[in-house]
Homo-oligomer: A and B are copies of this chain.
Amino acid sequence: MKTSMKAYVYVSLKKSVLDPQGKTIHGALKKMGYKGLEEVRQGKYFELTLDGGLGREEAQTEVERIAREVLTNPVIEEFRCSLAD
């Protein structure tokens, strides 16, 4: 029986890349009175549902391939994947 599987891909700007959107959010939060924030960075987050035709390891490989080849711009971004249990 095939059960679908969830995979998560988190894409964020590389540390060396300026993140104006994050800076804007940080500024807004400070102005609104939230304390204790040092930095805010924003990224993207993808939730992939796999149809279960792949094994766990294949799924991991496939998701990493999608993240690397399609979802991430390697010049300015980096990604992190995880498979739900």
Give me the interface of A with B, judged by CB distance under 8 Å. Answer: 4, 10-12, 22, 25, 28-29, 32, 34-54, 59, 62, 65-66, 70-71
Residues from chain B with a CB closer than 8 A to the CB of A41 are 46-47
The contact of A44 among B4, B42, B50, by CB within 8 Å, is B42
Residues from chain B with a CB closer than 8 A to the CB of A38 are 4, 49-51
Q: How many copies does the complex hold?
A: 2
Residues from chain B with a CB closer than 8 A to the CB of A45 are 10-12, 42-45
Residues from chain B with a CB closer than 8 A to the CB of A65 are 34
- Nearest chain B residue, comparing its CB with the CB of A66: B34
The contact of A48 among B37, B47, B52, by CB within 8 Å, is B37
Verify B10–A36 contact, CB threshold 8 A: no
